[in-house]
């Protein structure tokens, strides 16, 4: 075997040293990676130990049974954890959430306001994985309610048109402001919607908070929350309250208007279902006051659609009443054990084809 | 000669709610502060409904039905003393009179 020259020896030494350096670099990188992982895990262990974690639903919607169930369970869990005197601060994990829809988002925003009024500063959240969800949470004020520093910009066109207001009194100017944003509406459309919105606010004021809500916590806020959005040639306006719900607001004294209600619902057993109680309250035009001149608000809330077409959904406790003005079709659905503990009136009105 | 009252000018562009406790521009407040005092003055009163954002039934019923129910005016007297007008929406005028004619008095009738 030929003896290596001094030059070859020097070259071999360099190669060996380079290999060793590469090996050391890889080891060092691996060490750093492990260290980072350990740090994250430690942080997560700390967070897991020091917060009660609640995972937000994939879809904030109350339109179908599965998503409604997920939203209601999430809110119940959140309320229970945040308002329990012994539990840890609550952290909402938004990593699974991919969609925010009007009714579910409004209900969540309203519940957060109530929880914050009862026990402020108990809930924080993680940053959502979905950018549009982050924009919605920022735009409707949920990040603010959760003390989450918001660094995202609201750029999505549909999100920009979302608007949430709330208040305790019947404020016509807020109803008017919600409609002024949609300039393509005609005056008579604005007046009709104004009528519906202010009647919904009046109903909240007079009937919604007449008793305990039934979740074990006090009624500290007797508010309404309003949501409006213009998207895909449709105007969506929703009013929400966290009160006793329409089914429970029917008169307690059965001597007054009840014969009419029972006449309307031929099968008395149907009265056990919340959606049918909503339908009866609209048709008979009554409230627990039992006074003839009152209780017409729900019919008026529905009659907003006369001449405008569109659709109205009245979600109250376990029921959902839907009326399609175009087909004049009424649909009642019940979701036992998934009460939203309150009422959401949601108008969905086509506007673009009549717009200027 | 009759007294002209424009709801938008003399009360609010945003009438809403039934009772004072509902909000600042309620039917009860309109009735007690504007409508009833004007009718008690003895001259015919013309109410112009135009110019507001709209009217809910709670506001209209409490304002006009309340004249009979709470203030004791007679519906027959109101038909001679009160003129209700709207250039934009005549159905509001019909609605107002349905509340007046349908209201049942609670208090002592006011003599005309």
Segment A148-176, tens digit of pLDDT: 887 788 888 888 888 888 888 888 888 88
- B98-101's contacts with Cβ under 8 Å and 24+ in sequence apart are B99/A293, B99/B60, B99/B61, B99/B64, B99/B65, B100/B64, B100/B65, B100/B67, B100/B68, B100/B75, B101/B75
Number of Cβ within 10 Å of residue A326's Cβ equals 11
Whole-complex ipTM: 0.88
Q: State the Cα–Cα distance between residues A126 and A93, nearest whole angstrom.
A: 5
A170 to B23: CB separation less than 8 angstroms, yes or no: yes
Q: Which of B18, B88, B99 sits opposite A206 (nearest CB)?
A: B18
Which residues from B are below 8 Å from A175, CB to CB?
A: 14, 16, 53
pLDDT band at A62 (very low <50, low <70, confident <90, very high): very high
Separation of first and last alpha carbons in chain B: 17
Q: Which of B22, B53, B103 sits opposite A205 (nearest CB)?
A: B22
Pairing mode of beta strands A90-93, A123-125: parallel
Is some CB atom of chain B closer than 8 A to the CB atom of A232?
no
Is some CB atom of chain A closer than 8 A to the CB atom of B90?
no
Is some CB atom of chain A closer than 8 A to the CB atom of B101?
no
Q: How high is the pLDDT of residue B107?
A: 56
In Å, how far is B1's CA from the nearest CA of chain A? 32
Is some CB atom of chain B closer than 8 A to the CB atom of A199?
yes
Is some CB atom of chain B closer than 8 A to the CB atom of A317?
no
Beta strands in chain A (DSSP E): 52-55, 59-60, 90-93, 99-100, 123-125, 163-167, 224-231, 234-241, 311-316, 319-324, 329-334, 343-350
In Å, how far is A302's CA from the nearest CA of chain B? 13
Is some CB atom of chain B closer than 8 A to the CB atom of A195?
yes
Q: Which of A191, A292, A296 sits opposite B53 (nearest CB)?
A: A191
pLDDT in tens, A88-132: 889 999 999 999 999 999 999 999 999 999 989 889 998 899 999
Which residues from A are below 8 Å from B27, CB to CB?
A: none
A198 to B57: CB separation less than 8 angstroms, yes or no: no
Which residues from A are below 8 Å from B99, CB to CB?
A: 293
Q: How high is the pLDDT of residue A173?
A: 87
In Å, how far is A216's CA from the nearest CA of chain B? 26
Residue-level pLDDT, tens digit, chain B, 112 residues? 789 999 999 999 999 999 999 999 999 999 999 999 999 998 999 999 999 999 999 999 999 999 999 999 999 999 999 999 999 889 999 999 999 999 877 655 554 4
A199 to B54: CB separation less than 8 angstroms, yes or no: no
Q: Phi and psi (nearest 5°) for A231?
A: -150, 145
Q: Which of B35, B91, B93, B25 is nearest to A175 (CA)?
A: B25
Which residues from B are below 8 Å from A172, CB to CB?
A: 12-17, 23, 25, 53
Find the residue in A nearest to B54 (Cα). Answer: A191
* pTM given for the model: 0.82
Q: State the Cα–Cα distance between residues A280 and A267, nearest whole angstrom.
A: 12
Q: State the Cα–Cα distance between residues A353 and A192, nearest whole angstrom.
A: 18
In Å, how far is A208's CA from the nearest CA of chain B? 13
B61 to A206: CB separation less than 8 angstroms, yes or no: no
B16 to A206: CB separation less than 8 angstroms, yes or no: no
pLDDT band at A251 (very low <50, low <70, confident <90, very high): low
Q: What is the DSSP string of A140-197?
A: TTHHHHTTPPP------HHHHT-EEEEESS--HHHHHHHHHT-TTS-HHHHHHHHHHH
Whether A275 and A314 have beta carbons less than 8 Å apart is answered as no
């Amino acid at each position: 075997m030929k003896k290596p020259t001094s030059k070859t020896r020097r070259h071999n030494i360099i190669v060996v040293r380079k290999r060793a350096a590469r090996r050391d670099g890889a080891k060092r990188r691996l060490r750093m990676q492990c260290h980072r992982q350990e740090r994250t895990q430690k942080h997560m262990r700390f967070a897991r130990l020091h917060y009660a974690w609640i995972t937000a639903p994939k879809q904030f919607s109350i339109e179908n049974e599965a998503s409604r169930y997920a939203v209601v369970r999430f809110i119940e869990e959140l309320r229970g954890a945040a308002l329990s005197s012994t539990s840890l601060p609550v952290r909402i994990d938004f990593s699974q959430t991919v969609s925010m829809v009007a009714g579910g988002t409004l209900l969540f925003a309203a519940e957060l306001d109530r929880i914050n009024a009862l026990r402020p500063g108990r809930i924080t959240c993680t940053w959502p994985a979905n950018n549009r969800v982050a924009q919605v949470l920022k735009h409707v004020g949920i990040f603010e309610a959760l003390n989450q520093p918001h660094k995202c910009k609201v750029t999505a066109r549909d999100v920009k048109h979302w608007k949430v207001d709330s208040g305790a009194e019947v404020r016509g100017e807020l109803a008017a402001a919600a409609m002024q944003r949609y300039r393509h509406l005609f005056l008579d459309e604005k007046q009709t919607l104004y009528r519906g919105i202010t009647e919904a606010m009046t109903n909240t004021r007079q009937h919604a908070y007449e008793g305990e809500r039934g979740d074990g916590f006090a009624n500290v806020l007797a508010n309404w929350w309003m949501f409006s959005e213009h998207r895909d040639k449709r105007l969506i306006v929703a009013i929400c309250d966290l009160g006793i719900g329409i089914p429970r607001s029917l008169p307690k004294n059965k001597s007054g208007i009840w014969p009419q209600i029972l006449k309307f619902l031929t099968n008395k057993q149907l009265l056990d279902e919340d959606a049918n109680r909503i339908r009866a309250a609209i048709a008979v035009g009554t409230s627990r006051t039992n006074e003839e001149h009152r209780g017409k608000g729900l019919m008026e809330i529905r009659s907003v659609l006369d001449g405008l077409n569109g659709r109205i959904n009245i979600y109250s406790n376990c029921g959902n009443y839907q009326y399609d003005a175009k087909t004049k079709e009424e649909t009642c659905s019940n979701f036992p054990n998934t009460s939203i503990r309150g009422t959401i009136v949601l108008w969905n009105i086509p506007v673009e084809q009549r717009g200027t | 000669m009759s007294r002209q009252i424009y709801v938008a000018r003399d009360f609010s562009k945003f009438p809403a709610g039934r009772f004072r406790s509902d909000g600042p521009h309620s039917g009860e407040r309109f009735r007690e502060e504007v409508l009833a005092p004007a009718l008690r003055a003895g001259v015919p009163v013309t109410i112009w409904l135009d110019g507001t954002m709209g009217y809910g039934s709670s506001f209209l019923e409490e304002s006009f039905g309340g004249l009979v129910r709470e203030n004791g005016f007679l519906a027959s007297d109101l038909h001679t003393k009160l003129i209700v007008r709207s250039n934009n929406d005549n159905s509001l005028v019909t609605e107002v009179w349905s509340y007046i004619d349908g209201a049942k008095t609670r208090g002592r009738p006011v003599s005309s």
